[in-house]
Amino acid sequence: MKFFNASVVVLLAVTALAVFHSTKVDQSYSSRIAAIAVQINSMNAGWTAESPTRFLSMSKSEVKALMGTFFEENPSIPDVLEVHKFDKAAPSSFDSRTAWPKCTSLTEVRDQANCGSCWAFGAAEAMSDRICIQSDQTIQTRISTTDLVTCCNSCGNGCQGGYLGATWQYYQQTGVVTGDLFGDNSLCQPYFLAPCAHHTQSAKYPPCG
- Is 89 a residue whose pLDDT tops 90? no
Which pLDDT value is given to residue 91? 86
Terminal alpha carbon distance of the chain: 28
**Mean pLDDT (the chain, rounded):** 80
Helix/strand/coil percentages in the chain, nearest 5: 45, 5, 55
Most confident of 51-65, 78-92, 100-114: 100-114
More confident residue, 60 or 114: 114
- Is 199 a residue whose pLDDT tops 90? no
**DSSP conformational letter for 206:** P
Q: How far apart are CA 122 and CA 81, in angstroms?
A: 16
How wide is the angle at C-alpha 181 spanned by C-alphas 180 and 185, nearest 5°?
A: 70
- Is 24 a residue whose pLDDT tops 50? no
Q: Report pLDDT digits (tens) over 154-166.
A: 898 899 889 888 9
As a whole-number percent, the residues of the chain with pLDDT over 90 amount to: 39
58-209 belongs to which CATH class? alpha beta
Domain boundaries, the chain: 2-57, 58-209
Q: Report pLDDT digits (tens) over 40-82.
A: 888 887 888 876 666 667 777 777 666 666 666 555 555 555 6
